[in-house]
Amino acid sequence: MTCELANRQYSLLLYGELTFEEEELVQQHLDGCEGCREEFSRVKTLHRAVVNCEAELDGALLAECRRTLRVTVAAIGPPKKHSWFDGLTWGAFLKPLGAFALITLGFLGARLTSVGEPPQFSQSSVPMASRVRYVEPGNSSGRVQIVVEETSQRTFSGETASEPIRRLLLAAARDSSDAGLRVESMDILRASAGSAEVRRALIFALQHDPNAGVRLKALDGLKDSSGDPETRHALAQVLLADDNPGVRTQAIDLLTQKKEAAMVGVLQELMRKEDNSYVRLKCQKALHEMNASVETF
């Protein structure tokens, strides 16, 4: 692998989006190239800074921007039929640019937290935006009933061991729209894997999360509970069903920490269907250590 190709993979590596083979190639290149190790360190620092940077937007400003956007879009009206050069002025450029800027501002402030309300941790609760959801005409008196949906962004802080914070982290770990958020939540939750509730969340992510990076984080969090029957059952299922070789390899490591005769059949079944040479090698080694055949009879 060349340095240029390796540089293109760093972001994918950090977010767990590379295949097991691709990740191995990048790691091998980094092991032998000091310049690329320094570049990768800079990329990690940049990613960490981006993740930790959180813009704080004023709720009133956001609502005003959205109102202005609606007015601006309405004022532009439908496109007129004319030559491309007709009416070419700065205003023609500035209106769409202004609308784009307002849309961008609205998008940045639209990510909301909708789980739980532990008031003791609340630092702010500011209305962010309003949206009319339903309008019902009244009687002849001229009254009308309008249902408005209001959304808000709130900030919570506290110890990870506290119940309200843990509840929010568990909710974030199941956010289907943001793999990066799930990875970060898993990384924090794994320190509390001794809790039955957290362990079940890690098992659920291991079995159902579509992102391999999240599943690997869940596996990492389950290391200390690999002897738990529920955990071992989930590891056996993942070993035979997960499509990521890195996940299967790590599942073998956790399952073979405790030598059990019941695992022999699972490993033999994996040998029968596994097409990845590295995973087969790990599986074969585990079976030999357990004095078991690699074949099923």
CA nearest 95: which of 65, 73, 78? 73
The answer to whether residue 77 scores a pLDDT higher than 70 is no
For residue 124, the model assigns a pLDDT of 44
pLDDT-derived band at 114 (thresholds 50, 70, 90) equals very low
**C-beta of residue 76 within 8 angstroms of C-beta of residue 95:** yes
Q: What is the pLDDT of residues 13-41, one digit of tens each?
A: 877 777 878 888 888 888 888 888 888 88
The answer to whether residue 76 scores a pLDDT higher than 50 is yes
**C-beta of residue 17 within 8 angstroms of C-beta of residue 179:** no
The answer to whether residue 110 scores a pLDDT higher than 50 is no
For residue 21, the model assigns a pLDDT of 80
For residue 52, the model assigns a pLDDT of 66
Of residues 237 and 78, more confidence is placed in: 237
**C-beta of residue 165 within 8 angstroms of C-beta of residue 156:** yes
**Which amino acid makes up residue 108?**
L
**C-beta of residue 118 within 8 angstroms of C-beta of residue 145:** no
The answer to whether residue 230 scores a pLDDT higher than 70 is yes
pLDDT-derived band at 49 (thresholds 50, 70, 90) equals confident
Q: What is the pLDDT of residues 205-216, one digit of tens each?
A: 999 998 888 889
The answer to whether residue 92 scores a pLDDT higher than 80 is no
**C-beta of residue 20 within 8 angstroms of C-beta of residue 249:** yes
State how far the Cα of 131 lies from the Cα of 149, in Å rounded to an integer. Answer: 5
The answer to whether residue 45 scores a pLDDT higher than 80 is yes
For residue 116, the model assigns a pLDDT of 41
State how far the Cα of 247 lies from the Cα of 48, in Å rounded to an integer. Answer: 24
Q: Which of 96-105, 152-161, 182-191, 242-251 has the highest mean pLDDT?
A: 242-251
The answer to whether residue 220 scores a pLDDT higher than 80 is yes
- Which residues fall within 8 angstroms of residue 79, CB to CB, at 6 or more apart? none
Q: What is the pLDDT of residues 116-151, one digit of tens each?
A: 444 343 444 444 556 676 676 766 666 777 777 666
Of 142-146, 172-176, 260-264, which range is least confident?
A: 142-146
Which tokens hold the place of 126?
Answer: 């500011």
For residue 156, the model assigns a pLDDT of 78
Quick check: helix, strand or coil at residue 55? coil
| Percentage of residues of the chain with pLDDT beyond 70 | 68
Output the average pLDDT for the chain. Answer: 75
Which tokens hold the place of 165?
Answer: 């914070």
